[in-house]
Structures are given as C-alpha cells and as structure tokens.
Amino acid sequence: MNRREFLTTAAGMAAASAAYADQKTRRVGLIGSGWYGKSDLLRLIQIAPVEVVSLCDVDKRMLDEAAGIVASRQVSKKRPRLYTNYRKMLAEKDLDIVEVATPDHQHALIAIAAIQSGVDVYLQKPISVDIVEGQSILAAARKHNRVVQIGTQRRSTPHLIEARDRIIRTGKLGKIAYVDIHCYWHMRNTANPPDTKPPEYLDYDAWTGPAPMRPYSPIVHPRGWRAFMEYGNGIVGDMCVHMLDMTRWMLDLGWPSRVSSTGGILVDKKAKSNISDTQIATFEFPELPVVWNHRTWGDPGDPDPNYAWGATLYGEKGTLKASVYAYDFAGNDGTRAHGDAVYEYDKYPEDKTEKDLERHVASAIRGHMSDFLAAIDNRSKPVADVEQGYISTASCILANLSMKLGRTLQWDPVRGKVVGDEEANRLLARPYRSGYTHPDPARV
C-alpha cells in the first residue's frame, strides 16, 4: 500500500467511524479547562454532534475563558454551566462523557468519581502519580463497565499507524532487538523565583488536592506544575510514557519484567524545579529491551530536530525512526521510506488559527476521539484502553522508584507488586494530604 492509498483508506475509515455519531448528541463535561483539556475537547466538537454542558476548573479566569471558546465553537453556541467543584458537576447526572484534563496529581480521585457517576471517561496521560491509584482507576472502570480512553494518542496518529503497518508488520525491520526512546528537549524549568501568594482567581487549596501543600510558586500555574515531583513523575511521567506506550502498541508488548533507572539533577542544581534533568531507564521486556534517555541540557545528537523526542527501532534488516512529526525507515538494502504528520486544514481550517494547538497532533486527537466514541457505542475497549494506560504509566513510575531506591525492580503484574522488595512496595501508594483518602482498588 502506498502513502496515497493509505491516506485514502484512512479517510474512509474516519468517515465510517464518524457515521455513528449522527445518531445522537452526546452531553459532555470537561474537568480541567487548561491547555490540553481545550485542545482535546475542541477536536471532539469537530468530529461529533456533542453538546458541552459543563466545565469545571479551580481557576475562575481560565474557566470563563474556556466557556467563551467552547460557546463560539459548538453548534448550539450555548455557554456551558461553570463549576469550581467537580463533585457538584458530576452530581447533576446529566452527562454522557467526561474529559479529565487536570494536573496529574488530581487524575485518580476525579477519574474514579466520574466513573462511579456512570459516565464514560477520556482521561489524560499519565493516568496516575502512583501505581495503586492506577490500579484503582482500572478496577473502577471494570467494576462499573465504563469505557475509559487514555490520552496516549500516538496510537491514533495517522503517520505512526502507517509506519507500523507499512514497515513493522510487513517485516521490513526483520527481528527487532532494541528500541531507543528519548527526549532531549530543554523543557525543565530553570527559574528560581521567590514564592508568593496564589492569584485571587485560583483556589490553590483545591488545586493542590491530595498532594503536599507547597508554598505557591509562580512556576506552578498554569502549565508549569510538571517541574515538581509532588504533582507528577517528571519528564519520565510526561514524555517517556508517550514513547513507551507507542513502542508497546507498535510491537504488541505487554509488561516489562524488570525496570531499572539512574540519573538525577546532575547539571541544573540551582533551579527551584525538583525533577531530574538527566535520566536513563531500561524496560526489560521478554522480547527486547526498551531504553529511555532524557537530558534537558546539551545537544540532542540527532541533526534532524523532528527526532529530538521520539523512538528508534533497531531491526536486523533496518532502522525505523518515529516521532510526532514524522517517520523514516532505512533498510540495510538501501530502501527508504518516509512519512509526515497529517494536517487536515482543508476539512478543519480552524486548526490554523486556534491558540496553543499542537497542529501536527490535531489529526491524531480526532482519530483518538473517533475511536473513543466507537468504543462507547460498541461497549468495547478503545485503542488506548485504561489497562494499556495503566501498564505504560506504572512502568514509568517503576523507573522513578528504581532511581530513588538505587536498584532494579522486578514486577509481578498478577499481584501488582514488586517481587521481593517490601520497601519498594510501600512506595506504590503515595501519602495523601489530610482530608483526602487514597483510593483502594478493592473499594471503588
């Protein structure tokens, strides 16, 4: 299949998957109205007849701005109802779908509450900050028979689907024995501003939720919270989870049997941020090792900027480089293949001007939303089912635990425990701040 034929087929599949959407209007709510929450929601509006009924955020200014944008984009032109408490929003019982796009440290409690309220959920990655949270979200989804799609949209990225089908599945790489995944973007916050009072429009106590209460830093909000391990899992939890999940999907890998990691803050010791600036993690799968590297300093190494964040799959017959922007295959026999991110400006011209949209990712989000809606209609598992999100997220968390403990961790996926390491197992659930109860997979 050549690229033109592939894209024609993909367009036909997209049209077919959208056909079911004409049957009814789905009522949607968004919890977390910041950058990616809006990006995801506006792609859903583009591909299906939905009514965004409610928005929730603890930042009143961000919430009001999001309401205006949504009203301008949805067919009804209605402003959604606004909430600062997600439990009050869910208590209305008037939604079919809820998107959870808060900072990571709030994912578990909100996703579980949404599932328990009877809605299907689109949950941003990574699904949790600790492993027991992830186990609890998965248990809740299965117990309440809810469809939960995780925002690991590499699984719905047109050029990456093409790379998988055109290169990997046809055997052009031969036996794949090693995968390098990496991010060399200088994305770690290097500032060191003094702490200050939170802005009046932000309920900082509610924003902090179950995380430890830190003095407010202007780094944190909006979008800067990933600089702190209290709210996420650093660059491994943010960027590695995408590339690890993509690799697992492309190669049909399950759980790694062993995870090890080293690194830390090796260069930038003056910044307020407490996430690592350098880290290597090895995920040992039965089939092959997948090795992650990130550096937030220095030269990325690859002269092609498309691959500063990406994966390189090494096979006996050739090499495949893949990223959010492109893929390139080089066969040992001299054959070459290339693909680029798909832009759909002819169908969705608003993509050209939408504020903060990652334009190269828009088609992937639309595909991911289409898959989510099809799974809802069929009561089936979507391509990024919550269990897949749990595996990829937990694997990344294990990498951080390995770095913290200074030793390799062997994982038992049946028991959901680290083998023979009680110290590590005590770290599978983080302490919650007073007033919040950590979820338990047996009680969701």
Coil, strand or helix: which one is 113? helix
Give per-residue pLDDT as tens, 202-238: 999 999 999 999 999 999 999 999 999 999 999 999 9
Q: Give me the percent of the chain exceeding a pLDDT of 90.
A: 94
d(C-alpha 264, C-alpha 274), whole Å: 9
The phi, psi pair for 53, rounded to 5°, reads: -85, -40
Confidence of residue 23 (pLDDT cuts 50, 70, 90): low
Residue 3's pLDDT is what? 46
Residue 140 · residue 132 · CB < 8 Å:
no
Neighbours of 174 (CB within 10 A): 12
Confidence of residue 334 (pLDDT cuts 50, 70, 90): very high
Residue 92 in this model has a pLDDT that exceeds 50:
yes
Confidence of residue 13 (pLDDT cuts 50, 70, 90): very low
Residue 376 · residue 24 · CB < 8 Å:
no
d(C-alpha 250, C-alpha 161), whole Å: 8
The answer to whether position 96 is within a domain reads yes
Provide the domain count of the chain: 1
**Which CATH number does the domain housing residue 43 bear?**
3.40.50.720
Residue 428 · residue 412 · CB < 8 Å:
no
Q: At what angle do helices 362-378 and 35-47 cross, to 10 degrees?
A: 60
The answer to whether position 146 is within a domain reads yes
The answer to whether position 118 is within a domain reads yes
- Close Cβ partners of 385 (under 8 Å, ≥ 6 residues apart): 148, 149, 150
Coil, strand or helix: which one is 137? helix
Confidence of residue 436 (pLDDT cuts 50, 70, 90): very high
d(C-alpha 283, C-alpha 263), whole Å: 15
Average pLDDT over residues 300-322: 96
The answer to whether position 34 is within a domain reads yes
Confidence of residue 6 (pLDDT cuts 50, 70, 90): very low
The answer to whether position 102 is within a domain reads yes
The answer to whether position 69 is within a domain reads yes
Q: What range defines the domain where residue 141 resides?
A: 3-154
The answer to whether position 237 is within a domain reads no
Using alpha carbons only, what angle is made at residue 164 by residues 161 and 170, rounded to the nearest 5 degrees?
Answer: 135
Q: Give me the percent of the chain exceeding a pLDDT of 70.
A: 95
The answer to whether position 275 is within a domain reads no
Residue 433 in this model has a pLDDT that exceeds 90:
yes
Bridge partners of 318? Answer: 331
Residue 22's pLDDT is what? 53
